[in-house]
């Protein structure tokens, strides 16, 4: 433990960094291990957020630490586009095998999830020679200008930053809980084709199979099939944004593995590389080859340390059977939440695939309950449990604990959650 205090560091933060970088918890990390984190004052927290779904394999997994350390002894950076290295090629080969579909695929690496989304749109436009892109209300695709344009939530992501890139269109996401059916969403697409852009000018439809920031709503299978049919009929590419859903979180390698539909392109990041910055776009080989040499890349894209970490992440997911573990953990969490419904009338919905679980809160009148949601988050924090919220109305708690979490730590966290819900 150091003699620093959270309050003193936070005062320095406010003076030295801009307010636009929001902070979820004014506690400053000193060290972490698996699903536990200690702040500079020595206080322990159970981490149910995993750095926003980045640490499916936990904080500082020994195999990941060792992989990064071994790469450090070799080199940290050459710029892959200048002097390449074999580990990138082998990671691309692994992802080409792991992602849905048996067709020929290619993978390109970048640094952040937003970069992956930007490049997926670039690739789609290069392949189709069309400008238009359709996204869903409530979706989140990043904070760059294209990412903001695609994102279906204004506050805080788009406020004051316009204008945004053109030829981006939104339709409502099908969410039965909020009165939007699959047919409603499909009718909105047909209306779009009649009122705003002809389908022959649309390059891609992009969606998260399970909306992350939007509230952990899984796309209904019927909707995913209908999107695939629309794309096939009009020569549009289907892009699955798996940045938050990927790498065993939903109980399968990717959320698209839950559907009988194969996307043309997929974006990946977050838990791909165990806390180091790495993202990827994987897709049909002929589509991925559309941009000319030099059209894709980035100085830090495919960073050597992140690539080494990613290989270790894939090994850990396979060897520790984290897809199966995610399903067990998610079932345990949902059962606990369902058991609390009778005592917590604000619980409007419990949902999730695998360990990508959320609980949504509403008042007696059915209206979203963001104040109650914040109270639950604050009570949990004060008791040593870190929870993340989400949803267009900020009335959803999402659970993203490491899939490697020990049973005793999970149970301790769930006990704290139960008290916070009933306080």
Q: Which CATH number fits domain 66-319: 1.10.10.10, 3.40.47.10, 3.40.640.10, 3.40.50.720?
A: 3.40.640.10
Active-site residue, 270 included: yes
pLDDT, averaged across the chain = 97
- Give the C-alpha separation, 75 to 98, whole Å: 28
Active-site residue, 140 included: yes
Q: Is 158 exposed, middle or buried (0-12, 13-18, 19+ CB in 10 A)?
A: middle
Share of the chain above pLDDT 70, in %: 100
Supply 335's token pair.
């059962």
Which contiguous run of DSSP H or E holds residue 32? strand 29-33
Mean pLDDT (whole number) for 311-330? 98
Mean pLDDT (whole number) for 126-145? 97
Q: Name the active-site residue from 48, 109, 110, 140.
A: 140
Concatenated DSSP letters of 44-99: EEEESSHHHHT-TT-BT-HHHHHHHHHHHTT-S---TTTS--HHHHHHHHHHHHHS
Place of tokens 């999970």: 410
In this predicted model, what pLDDT tens digit does every residue of 229-252 receive, in sequence order? Answer: 999 999 999 999 999 999 999 999
- Give the C-alpha separation, 241 to 119, whole Å: 12
Q: Name the active-site residue from 270, 334, 399, 401.
A: 270
Q: Reply yes or no on whether the pLDDT at 1 is more than 50.
A: no
**Quick one: pLDDT at residue 3?**
80
In this predicted model, what pLDDT tens digit does every residue of 252-290 receive, in sequence order? Answer: 999 999 999 999 999 999 999 999 999 999 999 999 999
Q: In this structure, which topology does domain 6-60+320-422 adopt according to CATH?
A: 3.90.1150
Q: Reply yes or no on whether the pLDDT at 324 is more than 50.
A: yes
Share of the chain above pLDDT 90, in %: 98
Q: Reply yes or no on whether the pLDDT at 2 is more than 70.
A: no
In this predicted model, what pLDDT tens digit does every residue of 362-395 receive, in sequence order? Answer: 999 999 999 999 999 999 999 999 999 999 999 9
Active-site residue, 232 included: no
Residues with Cβ within 8 Å of residue 129, at least 6 apart in sequence: none
pTM of the model: 0.97
pLDDT band at 134 (very low <50, low <70, confident <90, very high): very high
List, by residue range, all CATH 3.40.640.10 domains of the chain.
66-319
Residues with Cβ within 8 Å of residue 275, at least 6 apart in sequence: 51, 54, 55, 59, 64, 309
Supply 144's token pair.
């760059």
In this predicted model, what pLDDT tens digit does every residue of 61-83 receive, in sequence order? Answer: 999 999 999 999 999 999 999 99
- Is the N-terminal amide bond of 163 cis, ω within 30° of 0? yes
List, by residue range, all CATH 3.90.1150.10 domains of the chain.
6-60+320-422
Q: Which of 128, 92, 148 has the alpha carbon at shortest distance from 239? A: 128
pLDDT band at 294 (very low <50, low <70, confident <90, very high): very high
Q: Name the active-site residue from 241, 252, 254, 399.
A: 241
In this predicted model, what pLDDT tens digit does every residue of 12-49 receive, in sequence order? Answer: 999 999 999 999 999 999 999 999 999 999 999 999 99
Supply 107's token pair.
């993978």
Mean pLDDT (whole number) for 178-184? 96
């Amino acid at each position: 433990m150091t003699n620093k205090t959270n309050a003193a560091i936070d005062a320095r933060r406010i003076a030295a960094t801009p307010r636009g970088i929001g902070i979820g918890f004014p506690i400053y990390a000193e060290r972490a291990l698996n699903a536990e984190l200690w702040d500079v004052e020595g206080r322990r927290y159970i981490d149910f957020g995993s750095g926003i779904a980045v640490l499916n394999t936990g904080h500082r997994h020994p195999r990941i630490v060792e992989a990064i350390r071994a790469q450090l002894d070799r080199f940290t950076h050459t710029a892959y586009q200048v002097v390449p290295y074999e580990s990138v090629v082998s990671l691309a080969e692994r992802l080409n095998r792991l992602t849905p579909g048996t067709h020929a695929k290619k993978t390109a690496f970048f640094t952040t999830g937003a970069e992956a989304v930007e490049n997926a749109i670039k690739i789609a436009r290069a392949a189709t020679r069309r400008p238009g892109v359709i996204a869903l209300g409530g979706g989140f695709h990043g904070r760059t200008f294209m990412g903001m344009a695609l994102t279906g939530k204004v506050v805080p992501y788009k406020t004051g930053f316009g204008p945004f890139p053109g030829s981006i269109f939104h339709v409502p996401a099908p969410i039965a809980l909020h009165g939007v059916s699959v047919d409603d969403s499909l009718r909105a697409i047909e209306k779009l084709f009649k009122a705003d852009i002809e389908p022959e000018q649309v390059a891609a439809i992009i969606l998260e199979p399970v909306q992350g920031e939007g509230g952990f709503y899984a796309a209904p299978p019927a909707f995913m099939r209908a999107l695939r049919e629309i794309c096939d009929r009009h020569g549009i590419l289907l892009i699955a944004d798996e940045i938050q859903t990927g790498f065993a979180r939903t109980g399968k390698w990717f959320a698209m593995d839950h559907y009988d539909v194969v996307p043309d392109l997929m974006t990946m990041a977050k838990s791909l590389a165990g806390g180091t910055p790495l993202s990827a776009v994987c897709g049909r080989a002929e589509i991925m080859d559309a941009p000319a040499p030099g059209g894709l890349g980035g100085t830090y894209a495919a960073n050597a340390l992140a690539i080494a970490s990613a290989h270790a992440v894939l090994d850990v997911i396979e060897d520790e059977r984290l897809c199966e573990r995610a399903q067990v953990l998610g079932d345990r969490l949902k059962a606990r939440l369902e058991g609390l419904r009778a005592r917590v009338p604000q619980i409007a919905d419990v949902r999730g695939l695998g360990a990508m679980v959320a609980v949504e809160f509403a008042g007696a009148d059915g209206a979203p309950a963001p104040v109650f949601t914040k109270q639950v988050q604050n009570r949990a924090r004060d008791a040593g449990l870190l929870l993340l919220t989400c949803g267009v109305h900020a009335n959803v708690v999402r659970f993203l604990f490491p899939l490697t979490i020990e049973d005793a730590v999970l149970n301790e966290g769930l006990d704290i959650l139960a008290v916070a819900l009933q306080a």
